[in-house]
Structure formats: C-alpha cells, structure tokens
Structure 1
Amino acid sequence: MPSVNEKLELAYNFVLHTNRNVFLTGKAGTGKTTFLHQIKQASAKRLMVVAPTGVAAMNAGGVTIHSLFQLPFGPIVPGAMQRETRKFTREKIRLLRTLDLLVIDEISMVRADVLDGIDDVLRRYRNRQEPFGGVQLLMIGDMQQLPPVIKDEDWALLKPHYQTGYFFGSKALRVTPYVSIELTHIYRQSDAQFINLLNGIREKTITRTQLDELNQRYVPDFSPDEKEGYITLSTHNASAQQINTQKLQALKGRSRTYTATVEGECPVHTFPTEAELELKVGAQVMFIKNDISRDKLYYNGKIGRVVDLDDDVIYVRCPSDDDDIAVYPVEWTNVRYSLDPATKEIKAEPIGRFVQFPLKLAWAITIHKSQGLTFEKAIIDASAAFAHGQVYVALSRCKSLEGLVLRTPIPSHSIKTEQTLEDFHEQVQQRIPTAQELLDSRRTNQESLLRELFSFELAASLLYRAQKLVRDNADNLPDELSAGLNQLNDLLREKAREVTIRFQQHLSAYFADNRLPEENGALQERVIKAGAYFQALIGDELLPLLRQCPTDCDNQQIREAVVEVLDELEKELFIKSGSFQSCQHGFNALTYLQARNRAELDFQPARRKVEVLATDGSAGSSLYKALMKWRNDKAGEHDLSGYMVLPQKTVYELVKLRPTTTDELLAVKGFGKTKVKQIGEEVLQIIREYAGKPERREASAKKSASPKPKKEKIDTRAITLALFQAGRTIDEIAAERSMAVLTIEGHLAQYVRHGEVSLDALLPPDKLKRIRQYFASNQPGSLSEAKNALGKDVTYGELRFVLNALRTDD
C-alpha cells in the first residue's frame, strides 16, 4: 500500500510529467485543496483553475466554469450549443489555445452537460479531434460530498442524453482515459473511532451499532453557553439565516454596520461575507479567511465572539485563546486569466476587489457553505437532509465526536445511498495507477510530443489550402503568388516533409528502447542535429520565401482570405522554429511545451504589402504606390471603382515591366488600344519619373522610319534569362530581384529544357559529369533520393537542370 507521500508524489508526477487526465479524490480533510495550491505554485505547465460556484472559485484562486467558458446557466443539451452564439475575445481564444492543464475543483458539483460544454469550447478553439481539445484535466473532488444541482425540469431535457447527471456521465469524459488517485490519510480528525464512523457514513456501510453510537450525540433542547462557541450547521439557508437574525436581535446593546469596499468586477454571488456586516458585542462570528500574517492568529472556520467594536478594528475572543484577536479588514480579489506580455505566462489578473472584515455571523451556516471548513464544536441539524452527501459533509466538518451535538437524531434514510456512485467508486478503484503505468505514461507523452515536433503535416495542409484558394481566384491575384507557393510547396515537400517521414521511422527504432526519450543519449544527439537543420531550413528558406509572396488584389474579400491562410501558415512555421530552437541542447517535454506556447504568443503576422524591386535596383514599391494613388484619384474623379480604371494586377505588371512607349504598354495585360489612348500617356509619365527615363524617348520612337513590331509580353523568367546572359550569377540575380535562389533556378531550368541555356554555363564540368553518370545508372524515385546519393554539394536546382536537359535529349 503506497504511503501518504507516495500517493501525493504519484499524483504530482501524473499531472506534471504526463498528458493523462487525473481524478484526484479522497475523504474530507485529506489535503486535496493543499495539493491544488502546490500544483499551482510548482507546475511549469500553463494552467487555469475553475470551480462550479463563485465562492469555490474564489477559495481555489480561480474563476467559475461559466465565466471562463461562457456557458449558459441552463441545461446544455447536446447539439444545442452549436446553435448558440457566444463571442470569445481574441485574448481568451489565445489563452485557451495555449492551455496545457485545466484544473476543475469541487468536481462532485459539476454536471455532466457542463463538462461537455467545456469539451465543446476547447475542441472549437484547439484540436477538434481530441476530447477537451487535447487539454489535460485535473479533476479534484469527493463524490461522497455535495452533488450537482439539477432541477427536475432540467433533467427532463438532459435525461435522453445522459445516464447520470454527475460529471462522470459526460460524453467527452467517457471516451477519455483517466487515472484515479485517492488520498486516504485524514488530517482533520485524529480520533480513530470518529474516523471509522465517518467512513461508514461516507461509504454507506454504517452499521446499526455505529448509527446508535452517533445518535448518542443527540441532546434534546441543547442550549450551550454562548461562550462555548458552537455553530449550527443547517440543511437550508432560510433556517440558518433565521437563527442568526434571532440571536443577533436578542443581544443587548447597539449594533454597528460595517460596509465593504467593492471595486471593479466583483459580483454579489462571489461575496465571501455580507457587504453590510451588522454586528454587536457578544455576537458569535466565524473567521472566513486564513490569517496570512506571521502570527497566524486565525484560520478559515475558527469560531469566536465579538468583545469590542471600533471604526477600523473588531476584537474577537476565541475559546481556545488567552488573548483577544484584533481583526482588521482584509481583501479578496476577483481574478480573470490573462497573458503576461513579458513572461508569456498565464496569470491571474485582478479585475475586482472586495474589502471587508473576515467575519460572518456564525450561530448557524448552511452545510453547503461549510464545505472545506473545520469546526471545534458544531450543532448538526441534518434530519432534513435532501441531497446526497449532506450528512457526511456536516459531520466531517467537526474535528472530534466530542465537539459534535445533534439537534435531532440522524435517521438511517437521511444517509442517502446512490447505486450510481457505488458503481463509480468501483470504477475508481480499477483506475488507480501503478508506478509502471506512470513510467509508461511519461514515455508515451514524450514520444507523442517528439512525433508532433517532427511533423510538417499541418504546414502542408495549410499550404494546400492556400494553393487551392489562389487557383480558384487566379484572375484576381498576381502570377508571382502562385509561382511562389509552388516553389514553397516543392521546398517543403523535399526538404521538410520527406526528411521528417524518414526521421519518424528512426524515432520508432529509438522508441523501442526501454529508456525514456529524455534519457536516451543517442536519440538526444539526433534530435539536436535534426532540430538545428529544421530551424535553419525554416528561418533561411521557408519563411523568407513565404513572406515574399505578394497578395495585392482589388477584391478585398479574396485578399483577406488569402492573407488569413498565409498568416496561419507563417504562424505554424514560426512556432515550429521556436520549438526546434528549444531542442538545441536536447529534448525536454516541459521545455518543449513552454517554447511551443511562447512562440504561438510571440507570433506577429507580417503585414503583406506589395514589395517589388526593379531590375535596376530602384524602389519599385514607390512606383507601385504612385500608380495606385493616381488610379484611385482618377477613379474618384469619375465616381468609379479603382479596378475599373486599372486592375491591381495590371498595376503590378506595370511596376515589373516598366514600359516607356505605347508599344511596350500594349504588351501589358489589361491594356488595349482604347485604354492606351485614354490613360496611356499619364501612366507612362509616372513610370518615366520613377525610372529616370527622358521624355524624348517616346518622341524619338514616334519619328522612327519603320514602326517597331508589337513587342511580346515579357515574363519574369525572361528577365532572369536576360540577367543571366549578361553575366550575372544565380545568387546575384536572386539578390537583385529579391527572389529565392530556388525560384531563379526554376526559371533557368525551363530554358535548359528548351535548349536556350547550356548546362556547361550552369555547372562545373566535374559536377555535371557526376550527376549525368548517376542518372544514367539509376532511376531515383525522387530528387531527394538523388541528392542523398550525390552528397550535400549538389543542390536540388542543379539536379533539375540536368533532368531537364535529359528530357530535351529524349
């Protein structure tokens, strides 16, 4: 049987070092809340804490489930949520997308449909295929305590969809594996006889002898001395309020009312005590907060009596203390989760504060509000217990049997038994994990994260979406966009996806080792090298090529759609780069998670502006702006849309080709004789001003004895060819034209295919001979296979040159 520390350590390791969902349970007083606070302080994962009620959320240092996930307060019928419109802020969406761990406190009070509501939101903003969007759950609670509140009319709507209203009836949770860890050591009580009696009530195994023993604590017409500090626990709020009001009115003397300071967002239902706290000397009160000072004079649930009232201090005497306690106002903070821009961590951001004396009248409180508290002396009025767990919660608040008095005997029927909970408890016992299961779960988690790291499938999917969108709207988008995406697709396939597919095969071999991936030295060396390769590939080739893709378009709707998918692709590559960077010294699961999430938060999409450079090096973007301004001004004069004067795609062509005569202008797509006659001279004048061409060039062209034949449209490959024939190297052309080397190589490869460029001008003799010999003797299935065989000094572009020449020979 594991020791107390072993169970806590097991729970801690499952939460921190695996991605398994965890149900942490245990009897009242076993330290579940303490464990929650330890996880909050120690976890390197991004976590949020939620609870079903405002008071529980405030006590746990979190927020309510409904506020975080914006769930309706009524029943959440499966299928109905999709018909509702709930707008999430961009900030909240970013929070949910980077969440690693969701802690749900007081899970016994959470309805099944509410848990499915959480699942729906997390799937929507994270991974739609994974339960809860792939977020790890830590569910904390005791099913033998207070149950969820489900009205009869609500259950009538939910019953066709759920076998039970308890959280474990959730459809999402039923298909989600989770482990159960039960804390058994009780800290609140030390009396073995009382502990056994409580266990009998909790587990519904109490014998007639034990029940008789308990009912011996029934004292008819019990009226303790006010100084003894008894508190009554009642099943109903009205009963508790009535007792407190009568007791306060019966006291002699003048009452004083202390008004709370409430600032910001702090809803009434979250107030830990009354905003108008009325007290008299002699009033029995309960502390509702722990003393955080060094003296630790009081704790949550401690009972005392008011002995003096001043404007800014209240003096309370407790039965176990020799001195009065000077009580001053304290602060409760209502929080909202946000992202710290500096640390990129999820933090609890204060949005409201409630300042009041940490006291409330305590002759009586409800059993519901007593959950989590501890009393030295209590009067239990549970004969009218209407909910499962009420009797157990009430009795387990007491530290000893001697400090407990029953207002009425506890009838056996008030100790409610639910077969559903009995069955669930048996399932819990079957889910208790072993040390080996922890090791296996750690290994599975690390393997999963490594496979995720070395996968470019999401990037490929986004690129496919972008290419399809561009193909479907080719008439409205620049040709360079399609060409750039095609080049990016080739690069991504050959240098990233094909490499990672092979690397995944190697991972499988390493995973066959009994060691954890984090502890496998050989695997770590491969990860370091592979990570450096992919980080360089993304930073030096993929991202620059993607960012060069122009998205100018007159149709704003099309442009926004294109920009959106390209931004998503850029973000995915950016996140990959940050993730690979975290592996420069080896793979660590928590370090990887932090790097991945930080990169997602750090990403800022580039503003996609047309950036065109002329072949002579002058700033084409300035000419583009000038032409666009002229076009829009012209359109405004005639009350037209801009594209009716000149389509944006035509403006782009003008910037690229820079025509300076009417004949050259006629070669530009979008210009006919009519348009040349209408606006040609104005367009040419703007181009001349930016190109530095003299005005007389047009005049001399008109005086020419023989008119020049109509010039064919010059495409971007022709410019590359002209520069190459002028003696520029491929690298120089790429730099001059602000294009990727791969793009320039693609241009020239086409001319090799048509026999216009000789291989001798592109490759040194020895390399050309080696590549030709390889292709003559082999038939590789891909260029990657050929490149691996020939070595690093041979590029993909050089392989294409030779292949195209061979096709020409055929």
Structure 2
Amino acid sequence: MNNPELQRAWQIIENTGTHLFLTGKAGTGKTTFLHNLKKESPKRTVIVAPTGIAAINAGGVTIHSFFQLPFAPFIPDTTFNTEQKHFRFSKEKINIIRSMDLLIIDEISMVRADLLDAIDSVLRRYRDRYKPFGGVQLLMIGDLQQLAPVVKETEWNMLSHYYDTSYFFGSRALKETTYATIELKQVYRQNDPYFLSLLNKVRENKADEQTLAELNQRYIPNFHPVKEKGYIQLTTHNYQAQQINDHELSLIKEPVFSYKAEVTGIFPEYSYPTDETLMLKKGAQIMFVKNDPSPEKRYYNGMIGEITSIDEDGFTVRTKEKNEKIIVQPEEWTNSKYVLNEETKEITEEQEGVFKQYPVKLAWGITIHKSQGLTFEHAIIDARSAFAHGQAYVALSRCKTLEGMVLSSPLSVNAIINDTIIDDYNQYIETHTPNEELLHAMQQTYFLNLVSELFDFSPIARSFNEQARLIDEHFYKLFPQLLAEYKKQIQIFTTEIVDVSYRFHKQYERLVTQSTDYNTNNDLQIRIIKGAAYFEQKLRPFHKLAEATNLPTDNKELRKKTNNTLEEFLNTLTQKLSLLQYVEDNGFHASDYLRKKAYILLSETDNKNSSGTTAHDRKERTPRERVSRERKRIEVPNDILHPELYRKITEWRGTKAKETGMPAYVIIQQKALLGMVNLLPNDAESLEAVPYFGRKGVENYGLELLGIIRNYMKEQNL
C-alpha cells in the first residue's frame, strides 16, 4: 500500500478507535480499500450499505436488514416499535452487535442523517447507552459529490424540525463524536491531467463558462456510434435506459434467447445484480456486471462486449476493449447474513441465498445511478435532465478519457447541481484530516482507553447500586439483613475498588503518555498485570455475594425485574473477573484483549442460554422426575432462619398447586411463607397472625401447615 492517504486510513482503523469518514473522487480506490480491510483486519467487522446492490458489491448486508429498521423517518429521542415480531432481535444478532469492533458503512453519501441516528439508537440499546454508536468504531466510505440521500418532501417536513441537513453529517449522534476525515487524492480511473482538472471543477461546483465550453466540445449532434467501439448511453431515469435497450434489441433481426436465473434460498429481488430473465440476441451489446472470478481475469464489472454466437445452452462475447472472445458461464452471487461461529466466537458470513445467472445485462443504455463505481472506455452522456446533486459529476467521471466521452446534449450550468451544504462541509474535511502527530496521539488515546476500560468498574457499581435499590424498595421488610449486607459491601466496593481504580488510572496514564512505545513497555506491563491481580482478588467476594443472593416473590413483574437486575449484576462481575484473570496471565495487548473480551462476552451468553430448560425437556420428564428436579432447585433466600423448613413448605406448596391447578402464590403468598418459616407458629391463632395468610388460609390449609411446622420443630428440638 504505497498510497499515503490509504496508509493513514488503515492506521486509524487498525490502531485507534476513532471514527473515520473516508472520501475521495471517483476512481480513487475506496472500494478496493474496503475489500482489503475486510480480508486483513483483525477487528470484528460488520459491513452495511443503504441499498441491496451496494451491499452485495461491498460484501455486506443492507442497513435496514441488519439493524431491522422500518423504511420510515426516524425522529430523535424516540424508538421504533421494536416489539413487533419483525423488529425483534435474535440472541445471535444481539451478540453480534455487542461483540463487534468496527461497523463499515459503504456509500455513506446516500445515508440520511436520521438513518444514522436510528443505527445509533440500536447500538446504544444493546451496547453502551452512554456512548455514541454504543462505543463501536465507524468507518464511513463514500463521496458526497456523487449521489445524495433520497428524502421526500413530506418526510423532510417532519425531519427538518430536528435536522439542518439530510446528509449523514447532520446526524445528532455523529455530532457528539470527534471523527477524522481522509480524502483520497490519487485517481486510478483517469490518467489525463487535463480531463481530471475539468472533472474536479464540476465536482467542486467551480465549473465556469470556460469549463463548460471545454466539455461541450464533446457535444456531437446526431451522433451515431461505431458499433465496434461499444458506446454506452448514460441516462438520468430508468425508463430512458429501458427504452434504449428495448429499441436497440428490436432492431437486431436475430432470434431471441432467454435465460432464467436460478434463485435458491433468500435473495431479495431488489438485490438482483442483473435481470432474473435475460433476453439476448446475437449482436446484442452487453455489459459484464461482475469481475471474472477465474485466475485469467478476462472481464470486469462494467466491461462492454458484443454477443457473437448464441443458442439455448449459452453464448460467446467478444470484448470491445481487447477484442477477445469469451465463452460466458453462469456465475453466482450470494446473499449472506452475519452469524457467530459457535466454536471460535468469530463473526462470520452465512449464506442465505444464491442468485445464479449469466453475469451480463443489455448495455446500450444504463442509468447514471447504476453506473456508480463503473468505468467505461466509451460513453454517451445525456445529463440535461439531471435532477439531483452530483448526477452530472457521476456521469462524466465514468469515462476514462475525454475523447471517449460524447455528450448527446450540451451541458449547461443548470445540469450541474451541487448542494452548497456540501461545499461548506468540504471545509470540515480539510480541517479534520489527521497529520502524523495527531495520528500518534489518537493511537495513544486508543490504547489508554482500552486499559481504562479494563480497570473501569463503573458498570459494576451501577449494577451493584441498582441491585441494592431494588432490595431496599421491594424486599427491605423480608430481608433486612441482606439489605444491610449490600449497603456495607457497597461501601467496601467504593473504598477498595472504585477509589483505588481512580488512583491507579493516574499511574498507568503517566506510563503510557511518557513511553515512546507503550505497546512493549515492560514497566507498564508489570503495572497492568499487578493491577489486574489486585482487582481480581478484591472482586471475588462481591461475585460470591451476587451468586448467593436469592429474592423470591410471587409478583410476576417484580420477579422478572429482580431476575434481570441480578443477572446483569452477576454478568458484569463474571465478565470483568474473566478479563482481569486473562490479563493477569497474559499481559495486555490491544488486539488480543479485544478478541478475548468478545469471546468472554459470548461464552457467558452461551452459558446462560444453555442453563435454561427447553419446553421439550419439560415435556419428556415424568412427574416423579419433575418433583425431584424442583426439590433440588428450591433455593433458600437470604435472611431465612430455618432453611430446611422453607424447603419443606415450598415443596408442599408446589405439590398443592399441581393438585388444585392453582398458582402457587394463591395457595400461600411468598411473604406469608417467609413469615411462617421465621415465626414458627404452632397453633391456629399464631398461624392466622402471620402477615398475608389470615383466617381463610388457616381454614383451607392450617392443619397441613401446622403439621409440617410441628414436625420440623420436633426434629430440631425447638
């Protein structure tokens, strides 16, 4: 990689956590960089794009499918109705979101500001709610001088109350970040400096009368292209391209052959790279729509050719560029989704569907929109009906040379539509391109942030306090000793962990900032390893407290909230302990740390899921097995004075519930059960006095319960 801008972009993505907007003129290598990054980056990466075709070309998925977003405007500070089945996230999707390091958004120029904020909303929901985009790094690739986002007038009437522009950089979440920009300068598509200078003037909205006059020298009225040259006409609208292709095909007095694609699995029509049914004739001009996957690389996406022979079994194409004959074979495109490898925990692509078809389409005409990313030797351009920002530039920049371009109508100033907002934003790009000094600071900050994340105990503190608050609010009468223990342990946690971590931060921050090579600094490694050992040892008692906490309740909503809160508390402790143990044993290295963090997160989720009981398991067990399993599962809550009696009455309540078909809490409320176990009532009067039990309970179950209690007291000599 001998391009300095691409080298810097690579360093930002690989060695920092800074968001990056990678832009550049048409033909500067943005797509090539994306594909190289996908193959070689160790970061856990997901690639998305705004359209189906763009996603297929980028080797990713659409934004709407990955984030399960509706095609509706997103209003900031609101959420879509994700309770609908279509928008619910699977556990696997949630795990992918939580464990990814890098999100690449291709063709960012077509992504609206509200769509980027919708992405932010999903990422915050499943990652870190306090950080823009949940703390995941963004790589945004695209050229704002090309195709703009589509926003209807009715949608903008709604969105304009929240955004000053529909472009991605109007995103509220993005404005909360400090993101870098790199503009690629070296153009690989055109080699003619004069033609490049004309294109740049169009791109930068600096096309004066002289520029238009130079370009309009290529206006040739009633131009009839030489067939052998393989001219393709670029139009502004789909219907125009379709009319051109249909008309030219009808002029050929040869039999037509049709080839229907084989579509298997899930492959949406909007992502089809060519027609599902190709209608072709001998003599038809075609364009390849895929790069040749064979080692010979005989054709590329955008290469023009002519069909020289054809039958039911296939056809041969002679390329205009090399005059080479190619027997065309059907090729496959895959529609994939991101999944987690169960063994390695890596994010991988899983094929959902295949589209198999000859990699060509009729090519006398093509829309400017669909020509984006392609290069043509010869093109006829009709840009007089350009209706959107950047269309004229996209059309002109598809051509390799000025001589290979023909204008079917003169270019006017009106056809060159440029958004003044983009001109203003270009100044931001120029002032936010990092130099070597800033790049070094970004890399250092990234390393320091990862170390700080390892020794950040605020998520545990939040979970700890939330757990204590829940006990204080709902269980303080039932478990006063447990509440007192939690309050005591929170004080210890604050003193021995939180306060110490603040002081420790100053130590490793000084070592990082003063070191010329913090990645290999031995003193820094020793401090980090010793710190990991200290905090790992200090965290153990809190993990034991969380494991021992049991808060039974008959209230369904409270039980759900209690379980979720305790689970969150236990998970944050378990994951932090595992990471500290790993660093204590292996030292701290950024890429290894990220990999291990994702593995621990996903392994913890697997353990949690595998510990559950499936409906099939419950169905297969005999009644005796079920009772035996329930007996073993009875967990004694904290503050219980007579654990064995608690188990006996709980077991009796479960049996009685099965016999009567009533919920267990209707037989005895949990609060009443706890009162019996602690108060040991041995006659009807004292049993009736137990809170939440009363006379009705005594009438229904008094004899049985007093029998259990008296037998227990006799066994225990009470």
TM range (shorter): 0.7 to 0.9
- Secondary structure of the structure 2 residue equivalent to 1:443: helix
Q: Which residue in the other structure is 1:631 paired with?
A: 653
Query: After superposition, where does 1:593-604 map in structure 2 within 5 Å?
Result: 593-603=594-604, 604=607
Shift of 1:505: 3.5
1:66 & 1:80 partners in 2: Cα distance? 17
User: Does the alignment pair 1:408 with 2:433?
Assistant: no
Q: Which residue in the other structure is 2:708 paired with?
A: 683
Shift of 1:248: 1.0
Q: Which residue in the other structure is 1:522 paired with?
A: 523
1:644 & 1:411 partners in 2: Cα distance? 82
- Secondary structure of the structure 1 residue equivalent to 2:12: helix
Query: Does the 8 Å CA contact 1:660/1:687 hold for their aligned counterparts?
Result: no
Q: Which residue in the other structure is 2:328 paired with?
A: 327
Query: After superposition, where does 1:260-659 map in structure 2 within 5 Å?
Result: 260-474=261-475, 481-482=482-483, 485-486=486-487, 488-489=489-490, 492-515=493-516, 517-538=518-539, 540-584=540-584, 585-603=586-604, 604-605=607-608, 609-611=633-635, 627-635=649-657, 641-643=663-665, 645-648=667-670
Shift of 1:633: 3.1
Taking structure 1 as the reference length, the TM-score comes to: 0.78
1:29 & 1:446 partners in 2: Cα distance? 34
User: Does the alignment pair 1:204 with 2:184?
Assistant: no
1:669 & 1:504 partners in 2: Cα distance? 53
Structure 1 pair 382–637 and aligned structure 2 pair: CA distance change class (3 A): closer
Letter in 2 for 1:32: K
Query: Does the 8 Å CA contact 1:261/1:355 hold for their aligned counterparts?
Result: yes
Q: 2:69 aligns with which of 68, 71, 82?
A: 71
Query: Does the 8 Å CA contact 1:443/1:516 hold for their aligned counterparts?
Result: no
- Secondary structure of the structure 2 residue equivalent to 1:587: coil
Query: Does the 8 Å CA contact 1:131/1:172 hold for their aligned counterparts?
Result: yes
User: With CA pairs under 8 Å and 6+ residues apart, which has the higher RCO, 1 or 2?
Assistant: 2
Shift of 1:677: 5.8
Structure 1 pair 258–620 and aligned structure 2 pair: CA distance change class (3 A): farther
- Secondary structure of the structure 2 residue equivalent to 1:572: helix
1:423 & 1:640 partners in 2: Cα distance? 70
Query: Does the 8 Å CA contact 2:478/2:674 hold for their aligned counterparts?
Result: no
Shift of 1:517: 3.8
Q: Which residue in the other structure is 2:619 paired with?
A: none
2:711 & 2:659 partners in 1: Cα distance? 18
Select between 71-80 and 326-335 the one with higher mean Cα deviation.
Answer: 71-80
Q: Which residue in the other structure is 1:26 paired with?
A: 24
Shift of 1:638: 5.8
Deviations 1:361-381 (A, max 9, x none): 101100100000111111111
Query: Does the 8 Å CA contact 1:552/1:609 hold for their aligned counterparts?
Result: no
- Secondary structure of the structure 2 residue equivalent to 1:518: coil
Q: Which residue in the other structure is 1:101 paired with?
A: 102
Query: Does the 8 Å CA contact 1:476/1:649 hold for their aligned counterparts?
Result: no
Q: Which residue in the other structure is 1:744 paired with?
A: none
Shift of 1:654: 8.0
Query: Does the 8 Å CA contact 2:318/2:324 hold for their aligned counterparts?
Result: yes
Query: After superposition, where does 1:53-132 map in structure 2 within 5 Å?
Result: 53-79=51-77, 81=79, 87-91=87-91, 92-132=93-133
Structure 1 pair 8–677 and aligned structure 2 pair: CA distance change class (3 A): closer
Q: Which residue in the other structure is 1:35 paired with?
A: 33
1:504 & 1:112 partners in 2: Cα distance? 37
Shift of 1:4: 5.3
Shift of 1:152: 2.5
Q: Which residue in the other structure is 2:260 paired with?
A: 259
User: Does the alignment pair 1:13 with 2:35?
Assistant: no
Query: Does the 8 Å CA contact 1:291/1:299 hold for their aligned counterparts?
Result: yes
Letter in 2 for 1:60: A
Query: Does the 8 Å CA contact 2:549/2:637 hold for their aligned counterparts?
Result: no
Query: Does the 8 Å CA contact 1:312/1:328 hold for their aligned counterparts?
Result: no
Deviations 1:309-334 (A, max 9, x none): 24443211112335421111111111
Work out which of the two has the higher radius of gyration on C-alpha atoms and give 1 or 2.
1
Query: Does the 8 Å CA contact 1:578/1:595 hold for their aligned counterparts?
Result: no
Letter in 2 for 1:566: L
1:280 & 1:429 partners in 2: Cα distance? 51
Letter in 2 for 1:285: I
1:207 & 1:40 partners in 2: Cα distance? 41
User: Does the alignment pair 1:153 with 2:175?
Assistant: no
Shift of 1:301: 0.4
Shift of 1:655: 8.2
- Secondary structure of the structure 1 residue equivalent to 2:388: coil
Letter in 1 for 2:502: I
Q: How many residues are aligned here?
A: 683
Structure 1 pair 482–409 and aligned structure 2 pair: CA distance change class (3 A): same
Letter in 2 for 1:102: L
1:119 & 1:297 partners in 2: Cα distance? 42
Structure 1 pair 516–661 and aligned structure 2 pair: CA distance change class (3 A): farther
Shift of 1:444: 1.4
Query: Does the 8 Å CA contact 1:478/1:652 hold for their aligned counterparts?
Result: no
Query: Does the 8 Å CA contact 1:332/1:354 hold for their aligned counterparts?
Result: yes
Structure 1 pair 609–503 and aligned structure 2 pair: CA distance change class (3 A): farther
Shift of 1:435: 0.6
1:576 & 1:84 partners in 2: Cα distance? 30
Between the aligned residues of both structures, percent identity stands at 42
- Secondary structure of the structure 2 residue equivalent to 1:368: coil
Q: Which residue in the other structure is 2:622 paired with?
A: none
CA RMSD for the aligned pairs?
3.3
1:366 & 1:682 partners in 2: Cα distance? 86
Letter in 1 for 2:655: D
Shift of 1:475: 6.7
User: Does the alignment pair 1:137 with 2:138?
Assistant: yes
Query: Does the 8 Å CA contact 2:286/2:305 hold for their aligned counterparts?
Result: yes
Structure 1 pair 680–214 and aligned structure 2 pair: CA distance change class (3 A): closer
- Secondary structure of the structure 2 residue equivalent to 1:400: coil
2:667 & 2:419 partners in 1: Cα distance? 77
Structure 1 pair 443–359 and aligned structure 2 pair: CA distance change class (3 A): same
Shift of 1:450: 1.7
Query: Does the 8 Å CA contact 1:145/1:392 hold for their aligned counterparts?
Result: yes
Structure 1 pair 635–570 and aligned structure 2 pair: CA distance change class (3 A): closer
Deviations 1:27-75 (A, max 9, x none): 1101000111111122222221111111111111112222222333243
Structure 1 pair 612–635 and aligned structure 2 pair: CA distance change class (3 A): closer
2:507 & 2:690 partners in 1: Cα distance? 52
1:587 & 1:107 partners in 2: Cα distance? 35
Query: Does the 8 Å CA contact 2:392/2:415 hold for their aligned counterparts?
Result: yes
- Secondary structure of the structure 2 residue equivalent to 1:379: strand
Taking structure 2 as the reference length, the TM-score comes to: 0.87
Select between 322-331 and 601-610 the one with higher mean Cα deviation.
Answer: 601-610
Letter in 2 for 1:70: Q
Shift of 1:340: 2.1
Letter in 2 for 1:558: L
Task: Note the residue ranges of structure 2 that are not aligned, 5 or more in a row.
Answer: 613-631
Query: Does the 8 Å CA contact 2:281/2:310 hold for their aligned counterparts?
Result: yes
Structure 1 pair 613–57 and aligned structure 2 pair: CA distance change class (3 A): closer
1:314 & 1:625 partners in 2: Cα distance? 79
User: Does the alignment pair 1:162 with 2:170?
Assistant: no
Structure 1 pair 37–639 and aligned structure 2 pair: CA distance change class (3 A): closer
1:62 & 1:155 partners in 2: Cα distance? 29
2:268 & 2:637 partners in 1: Cα distance? 59
- Secondary structure of the structure 1 residue equivalent to 2:369: helix
- Secondary structure of the structure 2 residue equivalent to 1:351: strand
Query: Does the 8 Å CA contact 2:448/2:509 hold for their aligned counterparts?
Result: no
Select between 425-434 and 605-614 the one with higher mean Cα deviation.
Answer: 605-614
